Structure 1
Amino acid sequence: MKRIQLGNTVFEGENDAYLIEAGRTTLVDTAVAVPAVRAELREGLSEHGVEFADVDAVVLTHWHPDHAGLAGEIQAEGGAEVYVHEADAPLVDGRERPFATNPTAQRETFERWGMPAAARERLTEFFDTEGADIYGRDAEVTPIADGETIDLGGVKLETVHLPGHTAGLCAFAFDPRTVPGHEPVSGNVGDEGESPVEAFTGDALLPRYTPNVGGADVRVEEPLAAYADSLVRIVERDWDAAHPGHRERIDEPSRRAAEILEHHRDRTRRVIDVLESGPATAWEVSAALFGDLEEIHTLHGPGEAFAHLDHLERAGVLERDGTAYRLVDPDPNVDELFPTAALDATDR
């Protein structure tokens, strides 16, 4: 297994694509469809004697363009089979328009968040500057679901659905001993003889950032609750290592998932603190939490604030009047608003 690092100045930093040369030459995630990054991916593959046309399978962790943008182009050159979760499939095969190119979805979302006109204009200008080309060519996809196995010819990937950042985000768990050219992070079996398991986690688990919820995919219902459940699932899986969609390998994924879950408890407390001064919209809460925002963060900031406000409203801590949220329970037990797992409870 080879990690190919690719440039990315817009989203969460360096992208990772993973080349697996088993019975089927496979790429886990691609990259954004812009000329410079396309050239980087071609060069990275060629260092291992692989061209786009040689790729037999593309396995996508989710639909975002910095992960799926080149899937259609790779497929067009060599007929690769493209796998993606059924919830994200419409955004990869072209049946559904992404948020950045969907004015109707933008208008409804920005109104719900209370975003002022000037901020809307800045964000739509950013979308126009980035352009629709970053999403690349549509691909014919093979939809997958939680628990399904993708057989790469000697390497089997188990699909683990982890929604939150997107509706269809998945990790892919595998036995590292079966992957040619890959040295397992943990070469020891567990006390009860368990086999080592590692996973490609896409943006469900990142080493330096907390993946955005609420703004990264506005289709997700109850985004914070969905992501909290996904984090608990990662803790309980207790993988030996996680290979994320950005930056370096995570050697203690359960611990990292527990840290992110605690981060969201802390952020929920901060949202409650903001509302103690009076009712506020998602945009106003975002400003209090994150300050002035630029480019894609103009979407992610109020989206994150909305995810927390929505979570608190559903729990009866807040009431919504139009676009503004008002505290009705100023001293909730925040811990009880989130699920816990063994490691998470121990760390706290």
Structure 2
Amino acid sequence: MTQVMNHGGGVHSIKVPIPDNPLGHTLVHVLDTGRGPVLIDTGWDDPEAWDTLTAGLTAIGVDITGIHGVVITHHHPDHHGLSGQVREASGAWIAMHAADTAIVRRTRESEPGTWLSYLAAKLATVGAPEDHIAPLLAAREKGGRMRTLPGLRAALPDREIVPGELLDLAGRRLRAIWTPGHTPGHVCLHLEEDHPANLPGRGRLFSGDHLLPGISPHVGLYEDPDSATETDPLGDYLASLERIGRLGVAEVLPAHQYAFPDAAGRVRELLDHHEERLTGLLGLLAEPLTPWQLAERMEWNRPWEQIPYGSRNIAVSEAEAHLRRLVKLGRAEAVAGSGPVTFVAV
């Protein structure tokens, strides 16, 4: 299978594998600039991924030591994982939105056991069964954090991506569009240049995970153990989608799957999908349910019984994000005095 694609106009993509993940790969984009090639995302921190990235660069005539900069759409390990290794090999700068840089810093600096304690308490609050929480408590007692978790040694960026501004790239017009939802600091990157194949529209969009041709990205809670602020990630995501839909780009270059036209059409599909999902959840909330019970009843890509342990935590976070949106819209409310707290449609 071809790992490298030439998108024209000084833009290539490399399929960098994600180990043991149904997504299969991250599309790392390579943008030629007057000061040298710049990567948009880097892929998972894994030897096979590194070998694929460097081989892909070689195939387009680029040595890893010549990378000028790295622009990260968001902090997740399949996007930011290899950034530190790229910087070590090349001296490249790394740029990220401040909100996601804060997550990277917090993850690196967290005390052993802090995250496990927070997650265990959070899961108890949303109604998770004791046998689901027990492994977290056991891991905490054994010395803190699980070293297998990705992101514990992710690189700290050295530049900030400022929404609305053009990035400092010689000879290119790449503008940052803040699109929170999938993460609080997710950015899309608008290449404000004529499409090389003269497709109608305003340039091209590196969309990260925000806008994908066949997948609705995960939207869960923005987890910060030290913050009491109640965020609305799904509301953020839907507003960000509408912002992207108005850009009128000729082509979308996402971080997974494949490039596609008609961003506005895909935005409409996703807005409709989430409206249908929210309506469906209101039907489930005819009776009071905890977020865990709601997650058990929601439609996923497989039956709840087949969803792995870690993925259940992600699923309940997505259920909570939908609940927060319904509460904010006045379509659901918490049942007073319930513990764990239950929610019901109004």
Counterpart selection for 1:281 from 290, 307, 312: 290
Alignment partners' CA distance in 2, 1:123 and 1:34: 25
Going from structure 1 to structure 2, the CA distance change for 1:102 and 1:232 (only over 3 Å counts) comes to same
Q: TM-score, normalised by structure 1?
A: 0.82
Contact 1:159 1:171 in 2 (8 A): yes
Q: In the alignment, residue 33 of structure 1 is paired with which amino acid? A: D
The one-letter code of the counterpart of 2:317 is G
Cα distance change of structure 1 residues 63 and 97 upon mapping to structure 2, 3 Å threshold = farther
Identity %: 27
Deviation digits for residues 4-25 of structure 1, max 9, x if unmatched?
Answer: 0121233643211001122131
Structure 1 position 117, deviation (Å): 3.1
Equivalent residue in structure 1 for 2:259, among 238, 243, 249? 249
Residues 32 and 134 in structure 1, CA contact (< 8 A), matched pair in contact too: no
**Cα distance 1:200–1:110, how it changes in 2: closer, same or farther (>3 A)?**
same
Is the 2:205–2:251 Cα contact (8 Å) retained in structure 1?
yes
Aligned with residue 297 of structure 1, among 299, 311, 314: 311
Per-residue deviation, 1:75:
0.9
User: Which of 237, 240, 248 is equivalent to 2:250?
Assistant: 240
Evaluate the alpha carbon distance shift between residue 295 and residue 152 of structure 1 in structure 2; reply closer, same or farther with a 3 A threshold.
Answer: farther
Give the Cα separation in 1 of the matches to 2:50 and 2:106. Answer: 20
Give the whole-Å Cα distance in 1 for the aligned partners of 2:259 and 2:78: 18
Aligned length: 315
Q: How does 1:195-214 map to 2 (within 5 A)?
A: 196-214=202-220
Q: Which letter maps to 2:59?
A: E
Aligned-pair CA distance for 1:131 = 1.3
- Contact kept in structure 2, 1:214 and 1:223, CA below 8 Å: yes
The residue matched to 1:102 in structure 2 has which SS?
helix
Distance of aligned partners of 1:116 and 1:51 in 2 relative to their CA distance in 1, 3 Å threshold: farther
In 2, Cα distance between equivalents of 1:302 and 1:95: 21
CA distance in 2, matches of 1:234, 1:140: 25
User: Which residue identity is paired with 2:127?
Assistant: G
Q: What residue is the counterpart of 2:32 in the other structure?
A: 21
SS of the residue 1:228 aligns to: helix
Distance 1:95 1:148, change over 3 A: farther
Following superposition, the deviation at residue 271 of structure 1 comes to: 0.8
How is 1:206-225 mapped onto 2 (pairs within 5 angstroms)?
206-214=212-220, 217-219=222-224, 221-225=231-235
Aligned in 2, Cα 1:20/1:188: closer, same or farther, shift over 3 Å? closer
Partner of 1:342: none
2: distance between equivalents of 1:43 and 1:189?
33
TM-score by length of 2: 0.82
The aligned counterpart of 2:188 is 171
Check if 1:311 corresponds to 2:336: no
Shift of 1:311: 1.2
> Is contact 1:122-1:295 (8 Å) kept?
no
Opposite residue 111 of structure 1, the aligned amino acid is A
Q: Is the CA contact (8 Å cut-off) linking 2:180 and 2:237 kept in structure 1? A: yes
**Shift of residue 92 of structure 1?**
3.8
CA RMSD, 1 decimal? 2.7
Paired amino acid for 1:233: R
**Matched residue type, 1:18:** H
The match for 1:260 is 270
> In 1, are the aligned partners of 2:101 and 2:157 still within 8 Å (CA)?
no
Find the aligned partners of 1:116 and 1:253 in 2 and give their Cα distance: 41
Query: Does the C-alpha gap of structure 1 residues 200 and 213 become closer, same or farther in structure 2, counting only changes over 3 Å?
Result: same
Give the structure 2 partner of residue 343 of structure 1.
Answer: none
Task: Give runs of aligned pairs for residues 110-189 of structure 1, distance below 5 A.
Answer: 110-120=123-133, 131-132=148-149, 136-177=153-194, 184=196, 187-188=198-199
Residue 180 (structure 1) aligns with: none
Match status 1:227 vs 2:237: yes
For 1:5 and 1:101, locate their aligned partners in 2 and report how far apart those are by CA, in whole Å.
Answer: 35
Q: Structure 2: where are the runs of 5+ without partners?
A: 1-10, 140-144, 225-229
Corresponding residue to 1:45 among 57, 80, 86:
57
- Equivalent position SS for 1:87: helix
Q: 1:93 to 1:148 in 2, by over 3 A?
A: farther
Which residue does 2:5 correspond to in 1?
none
Q: Which amino acid is the alignment partner of residue 329 of structure 2?
A: A
User: Could you tell me how far apart the structure 2 residues matched to 1:37 and 1:260 are?
Assistant: 30
The separation in 1 between residues aligned to 2:78 and 2:319, in whole angstroms, is 23
Aligned partners of 1:232 and 1:257 also within 8 Å: yes
What residue identity is the alignment partner of 1:116?
P
Q: CA deviation at 1:130?
A: 7.9
| 1:154–1:34 CA distance, 2 compared to 1 (3 A) | same
- Matches of 1:260 and 1:304 in 2, distance apart? 15
In 1: Cα distance, 2:325 partner to 2:150 partner? 34
Name the amino acid aligned to 1:171.
Answer: C
Partner deviation per Cα, 1:239-275 (whole Å, 9 max, x = no partner): 1111111110121111111111111111111111111
CA 123–204 in structure 1, closer or farther in 2 if over 3 Å, else same: farther
Residue-by-residue CA offset, 1:135-157 (whole Å, 9 max, x unaligned) = 55423421122111113211121
- Give, as a single letter, the amino acid of the residue that structure 1 aligns with 2:46: V
Alignment of 1:87-106 (within 5 A): 87-92=99-104, 102-106=115-119
Please report how far the alpha carbon of residue 222 of structure 1 lies from its aligned counterpart in structure 2 after TM superposition.
Answer: 0.4
What does residue 7 of structure 2 align with? none
